Structure 1
Amino acid sequence: MPRARIPSRRRPRASAVAATLLMTAAALGALGTGPAAADSVSLPLVRSALAEDELCASVSSKKATAEPWTLGALGMSRARPLSQGSGTTVAVVDTGVAEGAPALSGRVTALGTAGEDCVGHGTFVAGLIAAKPGDDGGPAGLAPQARILAVRGTGERGETSVDQVADGIRQAADEGAAVIYVAAALADGKAQLTDAVAYASGKDALVVAPVAPDALPRNAEPAPWYWPASAPGALAVMDYGPDGGRPADAPLVGGADLAAPGDSVVSIGPKGSGHFIGSGASFAAAHVAGAAALVRARYPELKAAEVSRRLTEAAYPAAPPRLDPYAALTTVLTDAKGATPRPEPAVVPAPPAAEPRTRALVVAAAGAGLLLLVAAGAVVIPRGRARNWRPAGS
């Protein structure tokens, strides 16, 4: 069944975003995280698509050296000792993932031309999922030991279609990805994308997608729901910001299974070691995909649906529930939702057999009688010897 209707979700233009980030920096500075905010606000914005006359994403000359707020909000210091995603593969169906990105070096496998990323969005997302920590600090992925499978879900400049996304999901499933991240949120293609998610589920892959686009074209009306996030079996993800809320111009989104950090998010670019910043549900979905890789690495026996259940039921209670990687890695779930474990039935041992018990009583009585005889002898015999065994009074 389709999810609940999603109200309007409008994103500010670049100038408005910059103003928002400045206010975010001031707020974080008041909370004692000023250096991180100051680093973040000066970073270039990551894009999800480029116009025909725009150049590919350039190298960022800025680097964030403080840990981003997202890692603290997700409690990654507690989750990392338990799992880092080793042995799992996360497919990124997006604008491509740059194979030469230093933070992903040696861990990117690309299908076709997906090893090139002109836009930068796919590499940014892959960094949120699996970037290794830098020597000088800064952003890192949730699953820094996971592998990335780059699958093109858009054209070179970020333009996309239902066919491209559906084909990308199927290709990722055929390649054995344990988790399939999809950046797109499309207003049409319900049947095709639902079939693609079902195909991936049949291959035991968990599809994670944003519940709505990061931005809508000017004057565009929002759709009632978006795909593939609304397909059965997919995890639909909503974003929130450093203050726990969402931008004032982005009304509450319905139909999300989970919420995760997605606003004022810092990650890597397709070239160099500099960083970018971005906001939107697509980045929140990347955090959920990274957490799913952690769970699949720690519990390789779990099926995709069980991983989805663990992520949602162990999440922090809210509307929608908020991703909690540590809880997903440690919570003991019962077989039935809301049920408590039933104790094993008590086993009462059978009464002992009568014959062995009787024999034991006889032996005990004989032993007691023997002890009495010995005690009596110890008293009588010395007295008899003292009278030379004559009767008393003789």
Structure 2
Amino acid sequence: MDQQRRAPGRATRTHRTARAAAAALLAFGLAPSPALASSDEPTALPQVTQVKGADEACAPPGTDVIARAPWTSHSLGLTLAHEMSRGRGTSVAVLATGVDPAVPALAGAVEGAASEDCLGYGTFLAGVVAARPLPDSGFVGVAPESTVVPVPTGDADTGLASPADIAAGITGAVGAGARVILVGTATYQASEALDTAVATAEAAGAVVVAPATVPTPDGPFPGFPAQDRTVLSAAAHDAAGDAVLGAPLVRPTGELARVDLTAPGAQVMSVGPGGAGHVTAAGDGVAAAFVAGAAALLVAREPDLSPAQVRERLMTTAYGSPLGTVDPIVGSGRVDPLGALAADPAAAMEAGQARVSGEAFVPEPSGLGSVEAPVTAVVVGVCALVVVLCGVGGAVLRLGRERGWRPAAPSERVTPEEDPRPMVLPLD
């Protein structure tokens, strides 16, 4: 944990504002073209991070509300997906340092006691999952009628979480009855307690979604519990749909790190604590929030699905890679909430029942007659026999003409010794 707990350098903090400005442009749908900018639009949004140094201040509240729908909404097809499901009745546990229930977009969405969120990351993830629509805001959560269950996990000041912290959080989420469990911050260490907690969630019918990687000063490391096959492992992609992870990661065991799905995880807009304004964030934890929201939509529509069936539906309906599911960077591909909902067998049955019933189509008899298998076989056999007989008869007639229709004379007969053709001996 020493490397993971290392505070960011001063140079990183110095350039944070510049990165936030660039991130904001894509987050609220602006291209880097002067023609699309206007004086009443902000040039930057505050940025929240997954972890921070102990000596750094809490995340600043957002003050600007963006009326334009962000790119993530269009990328996921949320407008059409919400016509099929909005996540009603589904509870999503958010394992993070805290969630601010006073944020207007989360009004009525958060269960349990209020918790402080100095980091801002938990509130951000809760917004990605369940933010309610507001009149002047273009942002809405993936499952805007689902319920968020905050499960305080990790150090409240830095956001760092140990395997024991995450295991306890998963166990607490199961106890709260959550159908979807979002692990906001991963760890690069496995543990028996973490394996047990994941198995408990699976047995309880809860879908666990976790970041595929964990950020460290030495770069991304494979994240846990995402390496467990009963956990949906989510990695980030950018606005162009390209994976943020540039190369596959290898675990200490020599195995490739697991990635099941990719989801938006760069230049993403959501809500932050302490105000009504929007903020930005990035990372595999953000991608996991989008996947958790998609799972909530699916569970709300088909509550009888098991965690394994939810994972299978989301993975088989994703926008796949040319390499198939063996792609070590994107797994099964980009998550597609609309595709997962449209693949609902119950929906297909309802659509079939809505059609006008009628009799099976029976073609009219052909004026050229019908074709029946036995008769056809007899006709073909007779034709073949006639062809053979014609060939034999032609040979006989040719020899008959040459001999004047008489038997061969003794002088015309050829003995085996005089026959120039090679002799073919019978095989024993």
TM-score range, shorter chain: 0.7 to 0.9
Match of 1:99 among 98, 101, 104: 101
Q: What residue in structure 2 maps to residue 44 of structure 1?
A: 46
SS of equivalent residue, structure 2 residue 259: coil
Q: Identical aligned pairs, as a percentage? A: 37
Match of 1:328 among 310, 334, 340: 340
| Aligned 8 A contact 1:194 1:232 in 2 | no
CA distance in 2, matches of 1:332, 1:135: 31
The 1:68/1:221 distance shift into structure 2, 3 A limit, reads closer
SS of equivalent residue, structure 1 residue 227: coil
TM-score normalised to the size of structure 2? 0.68
Q: Deviations over 1:333-381 (max 9, x none)?
A: 79xxxxxxxxxxxxxxxxxxxxxxxxxxxxxxxxxxxxxxxxxxxxxxx
CA distance in 1, matches of 2:219, 2:60: 32
Q: What residue in structure 1 maps to residue 369 of structure 2?
A: none
Match of 2:62 among 60, 63, 72: 60
Q: What residue in structure 1 maps to residue 130 of structure 2?
A: 130
Alignment of 1:108-187 (within 5 A): 108-110=110-112, 115-157=115-157, 158-187=159-188
Q: What residue in structure 2 maps to residue 295 of structure 1?
A: 298
TM-score normalised to the size of structure 1? 0.74
Say whether residues 1:280 and 2:283 are aligned partners: yes
The 1:170/1:32 distance shift into structure 2, 3 A limit, reads farther
CA distance in 2, matches of 1:203, 1:104: 27
Alignment of 1:365-380 (within 5 A): none
* 1:192 positional shift: 2.2
Q: What residue in structure 1 maps to residue 74 of structure 2?
A: 72
| Aligned 8 A contact 1:90 1:293 in 2 | yes
Alignment of 1:242-391 (within 5 A): 242-247=239-244, 250-252=246-248, 254-318=257-321, 319-320=330-331, 321-332=333-344
Q: Aligned-residue CA RMSD in angstroms? A: 2.9
CA distance in 1, matches of 2:264, 2:18: 18
* 1:84 positional shift: 0.3
Q: Deviations over 1:224-270 (max 9, x none)?
A: x32011112100001011122245x8445552100011100000011
The 1:102/1:326 distance shift into structure 2, 3 A limit, reads same
| Aligned 8 A contact 2:65 2:136 in 1 | no
CA distance in 2, matches of 1:303, 1:107: 24
- The one-letter amino acid paired with 2:60 is S
CA distance in 2, matches of 1:289, 1:205: 11
| Aligned 8 A contact 1:60 1:274 in 2 | yes
Q: What residue in structure 1 maps to residue 235 of structure 2?
A: 238
* 1:33 positional shift: 10
Say whether residues 1:188 and 2:189 are aligned partners: yes
* 1:63 positional shift: 2.1
| Aligned 8 A contact 1:109 1:115 in 2 | no
| Aligned 8 A contact 2:129 2:142 in 1 | yes
CA distance in 1, matches of 2:32, 2:140: 24
SS of equivalent residue, structure 1 residue 242: coil
Q: What residue in structure 1 maps to residue 380 of structure 2?
A: none
The 1:41/1:110 distance shift into structure 2, 3 A limit, reads farther
- The one-letter amino acid paired with 2:342 is T
The 1:41/1:200 distance shift into structure 2, 3 A limit, reads farther
CA distance in 1, matches of 2:35, 2:178: 37
- The one-letter amino acid paired with 2:285 is S
SS of equivalent residue, structure 1 residue 287: helix
| Aligned 8 A contact 2:243 2:262 in 1 | no
CA distance in 2, matches of 1:59, 1:87: 30
- The one-letter amino acid paired with 1:326 is L
| Aligned 8 A contact 1:238 1:259 in 2 | yes
Q: Deviations over 1:149-205 (max 9, x none)?
A: 000111211132111110000010111100000012211133221211111111100
The 1:31/1:221 distance shift into structure 2, 3 A limit, reads closer
Match of 1:86 among 81, 85, 88: 88
Q: What residue in structure 2 maps to residue 227 of structure 1?
A: 224
* 1:45 positional shift: 0.6
* 1:49 positional shift: 2.5
CA distance in 2, matches of 1:103, 1:206: 25
* 1:13 positional shift: 3.8
The 1:126/1:41 distance shift into structure 2, 3 A limit, reads farther
CA distance in 2, matches of 1:124, 1:30: 25
Q: Deviations over 1:291-314 (max 9, x none)?
A: 000000000111121111111111
SS of equivalent residue, structure 2 residue 170: helix
* 1:137 positional shift: 2.5
| Aligned 8 A contact 1:110 1:151 in 2 | no
- The one-letter amino acid paired with 2:265 is G
| Aligned 8 A contact 1:189 1:227 in 2 | yes
- The one-letter amino acid paired with 1:102 is P
SS of equivalent residue, structure 1 residue 196: helix
- The one-letter amino acid paired with 1:305 is A
Alignment of 1:8-23 (within 5 A): 13=12, 15=15, 18-19=18-19, 22=22
Higher relative contact order (CA 8 A, sep 6+): 1
SS of equivalent residue, structure 1 residue 199: helix
- The one-letter amino acid paired with 2:312 is R
| Aligned 8 A contact 1:103 1:133 in 2 | yes
| Aligned 8 A contact 2:20 2:47 in 1 | no
